[in-house]
A and B are shown apart, each in its own frame.
Chain A
Amino acid sequence: MREIFYNQALGEALAEELRRDKNVVLWGIDIGPYGGANGVTKGLFDEFGPERIIDMPIAELGYVGLGVGAAATGLRPVIELQFSDWITLPSEMIINQAAKMRYMFGGVLEMPLVIRAPIGAYLSAGAQHSNSFESLFAFVPGIKVVTPSTPYNAKGLLKSAIRDNNTVLFFEHKKLYGVKGEVPEEEYTISLGEAEIIREGSDLTIVTYSYMCQFCLEAAKILEKQGVQVEIVDLRTVDPIDEKMFLDSVKKTHRLLVVQEAWRECSISSEIAAIAAEKALYYLDAPVLRVTAEDVPMPFSPVLEERVLPSVKKIIEAANTVLERKPA
C-alpha cells in the first residue's frame, strides 16, 4: 500500500469532502495560497478557490464564531486554528454557543462544525505553543473530540468529522505531521468513537492516544524482549470514549496503565481510570497507574521539557510497577 504523510492524509480528507459537498468551506489563518502552517491545506486554494478556502484575520473568537453562525444556517465549516493553544480565545463560541445550541434550542438546529488544531509538545516551543487541551473540551457535553495517531486514522476520522452534524474538535499532533504511514487510495471513513487495538498482548493494557501511541509501541517492543506482552488501545476519539474496547482489554490483562501527553489533573487519563474503577475494579490485579505530563506550564529548555513530559523510559517504569515486577 502507498505511504503518505499525516499532513497529506489530512489534506486528502479535506479535498475529498470539499469535492463531495459544496457546503463544506474552510477558513483559518494562512490556509490559502500559503497552504497552512503545517502544510495541510497545500493545493486546496488552487483547486477550490478563494470562496471556499478563506484566509481570516488573526481573530479566533471572531472567525470561530462565524463558523457557529454558518453551521447553524446550512454550511459545514472546517476551521483551522494554527496552534491549539489559542483555542482559549474562541472557547466562548465553542463551549457556550456551538456545544449548547442544539440541546438548548430543543433540537431546532444542528451544528456541523469542525475545528482542527495542532496539539503537542516535544519541540521546545515553550508554555504557549505546546499545549494539549483535549481534556478541557471532552469535559463539555455536546462536543466530540478526536485525536488521530496515524495518517490512516487522520484521514478516515477527519472525513467522518466533516460529515458529522455535531461540533467536532479535531486535535492533530505537531510531531505527527511529518510521519508517514499506509493510506489506501480508495475512499474510507473511520467512525468517531471507535478505539483500535494497535498491539495485542495478555499481560498489561495501555490505554493511550495521539502521539503517545508511538511511545507506547516502542515501550511494548522493549518489554516484549523481557517477556512481557503489552496490549495497546489507541482511543482515537477521546470523546466519546470507546469504553467497551478498553474495558474488554482490561478484563483480559487485569492490569491498566494510561499514557497521555497532557496534564494529569481532571484529564482523559482521570476519566479512563474512573471508568475502570467503576466498571472493572474486580478484574484488576494492581492499581491503575498514569503516565502524563507534570502539572506545570511547559518549560522551554529541552532538559526541563524532557523532565516534564512522558517518555518511553517513564512508560516502561510505570508498566513495571503495574506489573509488580522488578525492572530488567
Chain B
Amino acid sequence: MDIPNEKLIEMYRGMLRIRHFEDRVKDLFAAGEMPGFVHLYLGEEAIAVGACSALEKDDYITSTHRGHGHILAKGGKMKFMMAELYGKATGYNKGKGGSMHIAWPKLGILGANGIVSGGIPIATGAAFSAKYRKSGQAAVCFFGDGAASEGTFHEAVNIASAFNLPVVYVCENNLYGVGTRQRDVRNIEDIADRGIGYGIPGLVVDGNNVVAVFEVVSEAVARAKNGEGPTLIECKTYRWRTHFEGEPDTYRPPEEVAYWLAREPIAPHRKLLIEQGILKEIEANQIEKDVLAELADAVEFARTSPLPDPETALEGLWA
C-alpha cells in the first residue's frame, strides 16, 4: 500500500501523543491528582493510531474502559481529555464522564465504555444508521480479547454480517482480561477465527506495527464503505501496565512483560521514517517536543480549570 509521507509522520505524532499522555496520567494518578480509576493504553498505541488513521473525521468509533488512546487518535484534544480525567467542568463531558466515559460525537467518538463489550452493539447500530442514511460513514469498534467472549460480541457481529453493515471490529488482544489470561478461558488461539462463524473475514495483524494495522484496517474500511460488510481484525498486542493503575502485577511472568516491552511500537516506526528519509532526526525530535508542549498545556489547563458547580450533578438527565 502506498502511504503518503505526511500520513506516516502523523502516525508517529499520534503514537507519541498517546505514549506521553498516558505516561503523564500514570504519574499524575500516582501523585493523587486524579480521582477514580485509570486504565492505561501504554504499549498498544499502534492499534488506535493505525486504525483511526484509516478513518475520516465523521466516521464513528466506540471505545473501551482503556479508551484514552482511541480518543486521542480520533482527534481528541489533550486538554479537554485531561480536564475530564481531573473531573473538571471544562472536560469533554463536563466532569460527568471521567476516564471511562469520554464521548465527543463531533469527532465521531460515541463513547468510551465502562462495560466490557458495551460498545460493540453501539458501533454496530451506528453502522446501521450510516447505511440507512446513506451517509458513506463507517464505524470502527475497539474492544478487547475479554469482550470477544461476551454474548454482546456474538449477537452484534451476527447482525452486522446479516445486514452487511459498514463496521470494522478491531479486537485488541493484549492477552489478559483483568487478571486472567484469556487463552486459558477460550479454546482457540486466534479470536479472528470467530469471523468464520459469522461469515465475515477474520484477520490477524501485528498490533504493535502501526503501518500493518493501518493497511489492514484501511482495506476493511474500504470494504465496509463499498457495501461489502463487516470485518473482524485481531491485533496482537500487550498492555505494559496492569489492568488499572495501582493493581499489583501478580499474574504476569516478568519475562513475558520484558518480551513485549522490547516490542514497543514507536521506536521502530521512527527508525523506519528516518531510514527511508521521510523524517530527519531533528524533525522527529521536534515532533516529540511539540507533543510534550501540548501535554504540558493540557495538564496546566486541567489543573487550573474550575470544578463543576455541584448543582450541575442534577442537570442533563433528560433531553
Bound CA span A112–B318, Å: 11
Is there an interface contact between B129 and A69, defined as CB atoms closer than 8 Å? yes
Number of interface residues of A (CB under 8 A): 43
Please determine whether A106 and B316 come into contact, CB atoms closer than 8 angstroms: yes
- Count B-side interface residues using an 8 Å CB cutoff: 48
Tell me, in angstroms, the Cα distance from A103 to B319 when the chains sit together: 9
Residues of the B chain whose Cβ atoms lie less than 8 Å from the Cβ of A141: 317
What chain B residues lie within 8 Å of A31 (beta carbons)? none
Q: Which residue of B lies closest to A27 (CB)?
A: B128
Query: Is there a chain B Cβ closer than 8 Å to A128's Cβ?
Result: no
Name which of B88-96, B211-219, B257-265 contacts chain A.
Answer: B88-96
A68-117 residues with Cβ-Cβ distance < 8 A to B are: 68-75, 77, 92-93, 96-97, 101-112
Decide yes or no whether B152 CB sits under 8 A from chain A: yes
- Of A51, A72, A108, the residue contacting B132 (CB under 8 A) is A51
Per-position contact with A for B216-254: 1 when CB-CB < 8 Å, else 0?
Answer: 000000000000000000000000000000000000000
CB-based nearest A residue for B165? A66
Identify which of A54-62, A145-153, A268-276 touches chain B: A54-62
Task: Assess the A61–B155 pair: CB atoms within 8 A.
Answer: yes
Contacts of A64 in B (CB 8 A): 121
Known contacts A61-B151, A107-B316, A108-B104; is-contact A70 B93 (Cβ 8 Å): no
Chain A residue, CB-CB nearest to B316: A107
Contacts of A96 in B (CB 8 A): 114-115, 118
Q: Is the CB of A69 within 8 A of B123?
A: yes
Q: Is A166 an interface residue (CB 8 A)?
A: yes
Which one of B48-56, B156-164, B291-299 is at the interface?
B156-164
Judge whether B103 is part of the interface by a CB distance below 8 angstroms.
yes
Q: Is B192 an interface residue (CB 8 A)?
A: no
The answer to whether B94 touches A72, judged by C-beta atoms less than 8 angstroms apart, is no
> What residue in chain B is nearest A105 (Cβ atoms)?
B103
Q: Measured between C-beta atoms, what is the minimum distance from B111 to chain A in Å?
A: 6
B60 at the interface (CB under 8 A from A): yes
Which of A69, A77, A93, A102 sits near B319, CB closer than 8 Å?
A102
Is there an interface contact between A105 and B156, defined as CB atoms closer than 8 Å? no
Give the contacts of B280-301 with A (CB-CB under 8 A). none
Are A73 and B129 also in contact (CB < 8 A) when A57-B159, A105-B97, A105-B101 are?
A: yes
B128 touches A69 (CB 8 A): yes
What CA separation (Å) do A111 and B318 show in the bound complex? 9
Q: Would you call A70 and B126 a contact (CB within 8 A)?
A: yes
Interfacial residues, chain A to chain B (CB-CB below 8 A): 25, 51, 54, 56-57, 59, 61-75, 77, 92-93, 96-97, 101-112, 141-142, 164-166
Instruction: Supply 10 A–B pairs (Cβ within 8 Å), ascending by A.
Output: A59-B158, A66-B125, A70-B125, A72-B110, A92-B118, A102-B317, A105-B93, A106-B94, A109-B110, A142-B318
